[in-house]
Structure 1
Amino acid sequence: MNARTQGPGASGSDDSTQYTLLFEKNVTIEVSDGTRLSANVFRPREPGRYPVIMAAGVYGKDVHFADGFKPQWEKLCRLYPGLCEDGSTGKYLRWETVDPERWVPHGYVVIHVDARGSGKSPGYLDPMSPREIQDYYEAIEWAGTQSWSNGKVGLIGISYYAATQWLVAALRPPHLAAIVPWEGRSDHYRDYGYHGGIMSNGFLFSWWPKQVLSNQHGNVNTPYRDRDDGLPTTGPALDEAMLLGNRNDYPAEMAKHPLCDAWHKQRSPDLARIEVPLLSAGNWGGPGNHLRGNIEGYLRAGSKQKWLSMHIGTHYESFYLPRYVAMQRRFFDHFLKGEDNGWQDTAPVQLSIRTVDGEIRRDENEFPLARTRWTRYYLHPSDASLTLREPAGTSEASFEAMETGLHFHTAPFEQETEITGFITLRLWIASTTRDADIFAVLRLFDPSGKEVIFDGAHEPTPVTRGWLRASHRKLDEAMTTPYRVYHAHDEIQKLAPGTYYPLDVEIWPTSIVIPKGYRLGLTLQGKDFEFENVKGRLTHTHPADRGGEDFRGRTTVCSGPERPSYLVLPVIPPS
């Protein structure tokens, strides 16, 4: 273990005391099976007992943000020029975790743990596994009983560092006092592995080698070096045979579990068991990863004290922006320090209402909003329109599954209109084969016909997206509500070719203010939707999942009085 000190933190803080940062590197946390996890501990040099904020994950506690994610680092520095100023050198910044220099001076201990099998923590690398989460539980309990701890531990971080929060909070570690899952999935199957029953392999198959295997403990070929000593961030070298034996083949395992079985459920929390205060922060620009999980996590967590904050922008920028760091600190100041700072009076739902050129920040009392007008827009295949008028006659239109699909448009909106909340699509389809995949994309077009494209969490994004494999159409009736569908994903129900079936497609929640004169569009196709000249990251192209003849047929969409196809939009009336 190495220790070093750094001078006083940011000036101009509201805190009456500014603490000096003491950095303890490679601190050992021994867990119940004897494995010794490695952690970096940043704490005030001044004697005392302080609250702890922690993150544990597989991305390497000693990989500097700029080394591991150079393009994202450069963009963040452009968006927030003061990132490495105003009290922080940026020296300790790590991908998707807090900056210790912005927390320790305010009286916090910051701990970053290399998860088992990653970085400098030996063991079997098995992301999101029960053993990894048990390690996290024990690390929390270790932190809560140290001489410098006040006994209250909070968790904070983005993505992986958020998803594991949901999991460990459901185990109820006694010293866990609050969590801030920032853009992190809460359902391993529905949010991440399989969208509507369709395997999401595009991100997974790049994430695994680039972000996980590069950080596997003992990987001598890692491109990363610890800036403190110039050595690999992955600890002592292991040979290839040992590396292979020390890890689960996570992508291969994902492909083996096309239904929501025990393997996925082990990696999904029982949200009702979560009882600590929580602040769930999601991104409207994240359809396909995390967005759904933050909303579901907020709604289904058993916590009596819980808040939902929805923002816009890239996957990482908001987490580091001063106004959001202030919100994070205010939340933890209340629940970890016991400060009476007014947080208890904060609106339970804080939304960035997305506009074509920015956002409007607004407080609400609930989600979905109680004043929502659930409004049906009917599909008319005969003229590709999307209207409030129910179809008088039956019409249909077809598309080849692996080619261009169907496009429906509303008339120009006669007045500015906000939609915020859950979206569902009732779609009557027939297929020439025994199955069909539906990729549903909600889009926005200006009066000239130019599409509005948003800067999303992971890639440029339309308003929102949804997916459903027809053979996964079975609903979980207990979880489904009039405004939100929830699929069981527990059995395969093949189609009879040429026979019409109703599908209830879950389109991920969104928020957008549609200006007067703009049109909404709905694109339906049997393959991933991608913008021209933009390669999508969250794609669904696994040959074992989509390579069969069942997904290469012709799909027909029908709408009429007896089989109405319609989109249900959450229209918010003007205040």
Structure 2
Amino acid sequence: MTATEKLKSRFPDLNFVKPLPVDKHPRYEKFGIKFSPNKRTVLPKGHLKEDGRKKVLADTLLNSDTPIKLRDGVHEYADIFRPVTSDEHPVPAVICWSPYRKTSISLDMIWHRAGVPKGWISGYETFEDLDPAEWTRRGYAIVNVDARGAQFSEAMVQRSHPALKALAPWEGFTDIYRQLYLRGEFSMNNVFAAQYQGGVAGGEGVEDVAQMVKTHPLFDDYWTQKYDEVLNIDVPIYVLGSFGNSFHVYGSFDTFRRAKSTHKWMRVHARFEWYEMYEPKPIDDLQRFYDRYAKGIMNGWETDTPSLRLSLHGFGTVPNIAERSEIGFPLQRQQLRKYYLDASVKRLTSLLPPDEAVASYDSQDLNASSDFTINFDEYPEIAGYTKVRQ
């Protein structure tokens, strides 16, 4: 039974959207994508994919659309970039796996390229992943995979591999229900769901998640099988997180907190995620992690790297905090405070109000609200989780 058939047997109401083929999809047409299984191309040092891009920094071998047979017989296809010397001198592989296809989306589609200069990347990188033009020079193979069901790959669903040495989830995402589509059981980001389904090209089917949001509003078995249980992670991990992208905040921090790995680090940056992927200093930092656990180089990573580097956004005249060293999260030195809503004065107070009061507003008025304020006598810092209890 295929993965698709298994899903249909468990969820009879699950429909699959048939995407347009690669050569008919408007997003793909301009790329001139052709299915070229096992094609070998040498990209010499100094090669430019196009003017204004980053040059390939080392002689690189590209194996296009390499078939990868999975345990259930389904094939995924990957573009593998590796040093030309890797036949004689094997190198570790960094697998770049995402729901995005390996050749159809780029930062050119993002407003002002999210601040990333065009010359920082080669154009061979898959969306939101490492640039092979940089990493083959550093002694790594970059494996850009079309996830199951995308582009030329077959069926859908992803699993980890027992040969995995380390994980670097930069801007994590672990729970499609709570973190993307139905946070607090309130439907959200449905436009994103429809746009994503319409943006996929390939020969297989894509789950109609936008419809399942409507028919499965509660966290049931359908959403449970899409939840990534981070307690199962036991390899060294380097998590990148931030407070700038609401899709990834919880997944990043939750992975760092609950993964059972005995070797784990987190860096919370104050910029946007794509800039971190291609700026030289973060790349050097990530390489040190990979060198230690993928190559076994004793480079002092464990002793030199704080378990948590925390950045916080300032407000008004309060400056940003950039990568301050901490131990664990929530912070060991945190001081929890409890405040109560006092509707009679529209304030947050440290003492339970003596009398009941009511604050209300017109929920049909998009400009209406009930606002509660609090004044601090000294500089406060919010660096952890906030909770509201009724």
- TM-score bracket, shorter-length normalisation: 0.7 to 0.9
SS at match of 1:398: coil
Distance 2:261 2:352 in 1: 42
Deviation, 1:116, is: 1.7
Is residue 55–residue 111 contact of structure 1 (8 Å, CA) maintained in 2? yes
Instruction: Tell me the equivalent position of 1:84.
Output: 119
Cα shift readout 1:251-292 (whole Å, capped 9, x = no counterpart): 1123222222111111112222211111121111233x2211
Amino acid corresponding to residue 130 of structure 2 in structure 1: V
Q: Cα 1:355–1:44, aligned 2, differ >3 Å: closer, same or farther?
A: same
Alignment equivalent of 2:179, drawn from 169, 188, 191: 191
Match of 1:21, as an amino acid? T
* Corresponding residue for residue 231 of structure 2: 272
Q: In structure 1, which of residues 195, 198, 217 is the aligned counterpart of residue 202 of structure 2?
A: 217
Alignment counterpart, residue 376 of structure 1, candidates 316, 329, 338: 338
Contact 2:148 / 2:158 at 8 angstroms: preserved in 1?
no
Instruction: State whether residues 266 and 308 of structure 2, in contact with CA within 8 Å, keep that contact through their aligned partners in structure 1.
Output: yes
Tell me the residue number matched to 2:81: 42
3-state SS of paired residue (1:186):
coil
Secondary structure of 1:42's counterpart equals strand
Amino acid at match of 2:172: G
* 1:22 CA drift (Å): 1.4
TM-fit CA distance, 1:333:
0.8
Aligned to 2:41: 4
1:178 counterpart SS class: coil
Query: In 1, distance between residues paired with 2:279 and 2:323?
Result: 15
Asked whether the equivalents of residues 360 and 370 of structure 2 are also in contact (C-alpha less than 8 Å), the reply is yes
What TM-score, normalized by structure 1, do the two folds share? 0.55
Aligned to 1:417, the other structure's residue is in SS state coil
1:116 — aligned with what? 148
Paired amino acid for 1:59 = Y
Distance 2:289 2:176 in 1: 27
Q: Distance in 2 between matches of 1:70 and 1:269?
A: 28
CA change 1:207–1:258 in 2 (3 A) is closer
Q: Which residue does 1:366 correspond to in 2?
A: 328
Alpha-carbon displacement from aligned partner over 1:403-461 (angstroms, at most 9, x marks no partner): 322111123x44322121011122xxxxxxxxxxxxxxxxxxxxxxxxxxxxxxxxxxx
Q: How far apart are residue 332 of structure 1 and its match?
A: 0.7
- Deviation, structure 1 residue 352: 0.8
Residue 3 (structure 1) shift: 2.0
SS of the counterpart of 1:4? strand
Which residue matches 1:71? 111
Q: Secondary structure at the match of 2:41?
A: strand
Say which structure is richer in strand. 1
Secondary structure at 1:362 match in 2: strand
Partner of 2:276: 318
Distance 1:66 1:187, change over 3 A: closer
Q: How many aligned residue pairs are there?
A: 336
Cα pair 1:58 1:212 within 8 Å, conserved? no
Q: Name the SS for the 1:406 alignment partner.
A: coil
Q: Are positions 1:96 and 2:128 aligned together?
A: yes
Q: For residue 84 of structure 1, what is the amino acid of its counterpart?
A: G
Cα distance change, pair 378–414 in 1 and its aligned pair in 2 (3 A): same
1:133 aligns with 2:173: no
What's the TM-score once normalised by structure 2's chain length?
0.80
Match of 2:22 in 1: none
Aligned partner of 1:22 in structure 2 is 61
Q: Is the Cα contact below 8 Å between 2:270 and 2:322 reproduced in 1?
A: no
**Hey, what's the Cα distance between the residues in 1 that align with 2:141 and 2:59?**
11
Query: Residues 230 and 255 of structure 2 are in contact (CA less than 8 Å); yes or no, is this contact kept in structure 1?
Result: yes
CA contact (8 A) 1:9 1:105 kept: no
1:138-537 to structure 2, matched below 5 A, reads: 168=160, 173-200=161-188, 203-209=189-195, 211-218=196-203, 246-287=205-246, 289-345=247-303, 346-356=305-315, 358-403=320-365, 404-411=368-375, 413-426=376-389, 503=390
Percent of counterpart pairs with the same letter?
27
Q: Secondary structure at the match of 1:397?
A: coil
Distance 1:111 1:293 in 2: 24
In 2, Cα distance between the equivalents of 1:94 and 1:72?
18
- Deviations, residues 504-545 of structure 1 (Å, cap 9, x unaligned): xxxxxxxxxxxxxxxxxxxxxxxxxxxxxxxxxxxxxxxxxx
The DSSP-based 3-state class of the residue aligned with 2:372 is strand
Secondary structure class of the residue paired with 1:92: coil
Is the CA contact 1:353–1:362 (under 8 Å) kept in the aligned structure 2? no
Is the Cα–Cα contact under 8 Å of residues 208 and 251 in structure 1 kept in the other structure?
Answer: yes
**Cα offsets for 1:352-407 (capped at 9, x unmatched):** 13213543220111111111111123222112122334423322212233332211
| CA displacement at 1:43 relative to structure 2 | 0.2
Structure 1 unaligned spans of 5+: 11-17, 127-131, 135-167, 219-242, 427-502, 504-575
**1:219-257 alpha-carbon deviations (Å, 9 max, x no partner):** xxxxxxxxxxxxxxxxxxxxxxxx6xx332121123222
For 1:294, give the aligned amino acid: S
List per-residue Cα deviations over 1:301-350 (Å, max 9, x = no partner).
11111112212233422222222212211111110011111111221111
Q: Which amino acid aligns with 2:224?
A: K
Per-residue CA shift, 1:10-66, capped at 9, x if unaligned? 9xxxxxxx8522111111112244433211000010131111100223321112514
Deviation of the 1:217 alpha carbon: 0.3
Question: Which amino acid is the alignment partner of residue 261 of structure 1?
Answer: D
Q: Deviations over 1:137-183 (max 9, x none)?
A: xxxxxxxxxxxxxxxxxxxxxxxxxxxxxxx3xxxx22101111111
SS for the counterpart of 1:59 is: coil
> In structure 2, do the counterparts of structure 1 residues 66 and 317 end up closer, same or farther at CA, with 3 Å as the change threshold?
closer
| C-alpha separation in 2, matches of 1:387 and 1:317 | 40
Question: Which letter maps to 2:336?
Answer: W
Amino acid at match of 2:175: D
2:268 counterpart letter in structure 1: M
Cα distance in 2 between the residues matched to 1:290 and 1:93: 21
Do 2:310 and 2:321's aligned partners in 1 also have CA atoms closer than 8 Å?
no
Question: Take 2:271 and 2:194, find their aligned partners in 1: how far apart are those partners?
Answer: 24
The amino acid across from 2:282 in the alignment is Y
**What secondary structure does 2:336 align onto?**
strand
Structure 2 segments unaligned to the other structure (5+ residues): 1-37, 48-56
> Relative to 1, partners in 2 of residues 1:70 and 1:366: Cα closer, same or farther, differing over 3 Å?
closer
3-state SS of paired residue (1:112): strand
CA distance in 1, matches of 2:83, 2:173: 32
Tell me the CA shift for residue 194 of structure 1.
1.7
Letter in 1 for 2:353: P
Rounded Cα–Cα distance in structure 2 between residues aligned with 1:290 and 1:360: 19
